[in-house]
Amino acid sequence: MTDLPPLKDATLEIDGRVAVLTFNRDDVRNALTSTELVTEIPRVIAWANATPEISVLIMIGAGSAFSAGGNIKTMGERARAAPHVLEQNYRGGVQRIPLALERAEIPVIAAVNGPAIGAGFDMANMCDIRIGSTLAQFGETFANLGIIAGDGGSWFLQRLIGYQRAAELTFTSRIVKAEEALQLGILLEVTAPDELLPRAKALAAQIAAKPPQAIRYAKRLLKLAQRQNLEEHLDVCSAFQAICHKTEDHAEALAAFFEKRQGVFKGK
């Protein structure tokens, strides 16, 4: 395995084929702006993409919040810049996160331990799966501050819960608690706070036990299917399937099936 990426405002733990990225700026409720998280999250995703020994990434916040999104205390100061500078700051800053998550080659699980507000909510929606504790809260709260989702949140939210509900949450900026988030499809599951990370790790381990290349190809297909027509998608499926049939892991999976045992996969 390659060396772990250097991190200042987050920590990275490896457990088998599962990586756990913990946002470690509870002093600002794990805000993405005015911290190194805006740089370190894309860095970790790029590292995971290039590390075949990693099959799943879990993201969670240390302390009371998953992520408060933008740091409101420094927002006024940042807004003094000229419009073209502000535009570039978004493109070179927080917008790196949606681009990185959209390019992630492995499944990403958001373990939402507390409030996920503004860009923090959007970032959770960029992940493949979201599990929340009973303390999780979500809010598309940009309108409260007279701004919009500069991180592409409107693109992700309506794809997750539909246009009408996304419009309601965006226009009202109201806070959604864990049980409603489960009903809306924002969350897959809700757990007790002390069970959140163990449950996320259990789900990640279940995924990581599968042939690693097949999981990466499956993730690519799910993303491609969002923007391809059926004929285009079937062409890609044929190509990816042909590759999978030639892997050692496929042969091992067949042998394990017929021998009624657990497969041992090497990502080859």
Where do the domains of the chain lie, and which CATH numbers do they carry? 10-208 (3.90.226.10), 212-258 (1.10.12)
Q: Please state, in angstroms and as integers, the Cα–Cα distance from residue 40 to each residue in 59, 167, 266, following that order.
A: 12, 31, 28
Residue 170 — very low, low, confident or very high, per pLDDT cuts 50/70/90? very high
- Residues 217-246 have pLDDT tens digits of 999 999 999 999 999 999 999 999 999 999
Q: What is the pTM of this model?
A: 0.95
Give the model's pLDDT for residue 29: 96
Rounded distance between C-alpha atoms, residue 4 and residue 132, angstroms: 27
pLDDT-derived band at 267 (thresholds 50, 70, 90) equals confident
What is residue 80's predicted lDDT score, i.e. its pLDDT? 77
Task: Quote the pLDDT of residue 21.
Answer: 98
pLDDT > 90? residue 76:
no
Under DSSP, the state recorded for 3 is P
From the CB of residue 157, how many other CB atoms can be counted at a distance below 10 Å? 23
Mean pLDDT of the chain: 94
**What span, in angstroms and rounded, lies between the C-alpha atoms of 92 and 39?**
9
Residue 152 has pLDDT above 90, yes or no: yes
pLDDT, average across residues 134-148: 95
